[in-house]
Structures are given as C-alpha cells and as structure tokens.
Amino acid sequence: MQTKLFTIPNLLTLSNLLCGALGTVAALAGGNLTLAFGLMVGGAVFDFFDGFVARRLGQDGKLGVELDSLADDISFGLLPASVLYVLFGRMPGAAWLPGWAGLLLFGYAAFAALRLAKFNIDETQHAEFCGLPSPGAALFCASLGLLAEQQGVVLPREAVLAVGLVVGVLMVSPVRMFSFKFAGFGWKGNELRYAFVALFVVLAVAVRWWAVPAIVALYVLVSLVRWLVGRKPRNV
C-alpha cells in the first residue's frame, strides 16, 4: 500500500520542522534569540493545526504521528536547547563553572525526545498529559532568551543550567497535567482552559513578554496541585 507523503497535514508538520531548524540557526549562528523565539511560536502554531487538519480531512495516521514527533524534537527540543546554550554563553557565572558546561544544555533535547516517544505509546494521554508538554516547556525556555534581549534580564549561568535540568525533568515526570484541547466550545468541562486563556490575555497586556514564562509556571503549579490532591492514597 502506497503511503501519501505530501498531504496538507504533513506539510503543516514539515513547516513546524522548518521553523525549528531556522530558529536553531538564528540562535546558534546569528545569536538572535528574539527571532528564535518568534520562529518557535510559528512552529507551535503549525503543530497545533496539523493534527486538527488531519482529523478534519481524515488524513491522520501513523506516518503523521511519527513525523510530528520528529518535527517537535527539532522545534521544541533542539531549538530551546540552542537558545539556552547561547543564553548561557552571554550570562555571568562563578569562576568554578567552565565554559564548556553550557554543552550540557543540549541534554534538554534528549529529555524532549523521551517525552515525545513516551507520548506516542501512552494511551492515557488523550485527555491529559503525563509530564510537561514539550511545546510549553520549550516556550518557557526560549522566553528567557527573549527577556534577556528585550528586557535586559540577567540570569547567572548556574540558573540557566538549573532551568534546563528542571524543565527537562518535568517533561518526563509522572505529574499529570491538564490538556488545552477543548472539549467543544461550551463552558462546562472547559472552565480551567478558558480561565488560563483569559489570564494569558490579561498578562500579555499587563506584562507583555513576561506573560509566557508566567503562564507556563502557573500551569505547572496548578497541575502539580491537582495531581497531588487527586492521587489515591496507598493502602497500608
């Protein structure tokens, strides 16, 4: 059976990959973290619509799933790792921390790959996620580069390394996190999603670039609390 490669959903997924590849070049070769962030946002938009379009056209299948993960590890694995690496090189650090330590940040891409592979085989992640989704994690990391360029934010190199490690671990953690996939457009069942969308709009107006890391951090915090409260106590 011949597999059709160049479908509309697959072209959207490849557009996501292209955004990730160009964003990586913008960060590593051009040192432009603002452009890298913008290209990541573009990749996230393509990533959001490829699955939706595939379902609407009846073109969802195994090829699309595998291609989506490959594209995501570029846009939301390698690209954020590249941003953190460049950011590490620009920031001050303690004398004991060698410059090559920034290369450790590329381990972030490995965490993202594990997260994506786990998602593909985990049948429990349709209505919610297990671990921090790679797009949200990537946007958080890339937003730090944006803030450094646009707002003059300074983070010690140690903090940049810590961000890469903590966010990477959150991606493969067992914490259950709610999905932003709307169950229809009604209020019932979507209360938390609509609340986060409204809050993001308010934050975007009030604090502009700070809205991205703020909303991702709040998303992790709320999900963590819900997960801890909802866990069933073990029988003694």
Confidence of residue 234 (pLDDT cuts 50, 70, 90): low
- Within 8 A by CB and 6+ apart from 136, the residues are 216, 219
CA 31 to chain CA mean position, Å: 20
| Start-end of H helices in the chain | 8-28, 33-57, 62-73, 79-90, 107-121, 134-151, 157-171, 191-207, 211-230
Provide mean pLDDT across the span 189-208: 86
Instruction: Find out whether 153 and 208 touch, Cβ atoms under 8 Å.
Output: no
Instruction: Give 114-173 pLDDT, tens digit per residue.
Output: 999 998 888 887 778 999 999 999 999 999 999 999 999 999 999 999 999 999 999 999
Confidence of residue 88 (pLDDT cuts 50, 70, 90): very high
3-state secondary structure of 65: helix
99 exposure class (CB count in 10 Å sphere: 0-12, 13-18, 19+): exposed
Confidence of residue 62 (pLDDT cuts 50, 70, 90): confident
Confidence of residue 236 (pLDDT cuts 50, 70, 90): very low
8-230 to CATH, choices 3.40.50.2300, 2.40.10.120, 3.40.50.300, 1.20.120.1760: 1.20.120.1760
Residue 125 host element (H or E):
none
pTM: 0.90
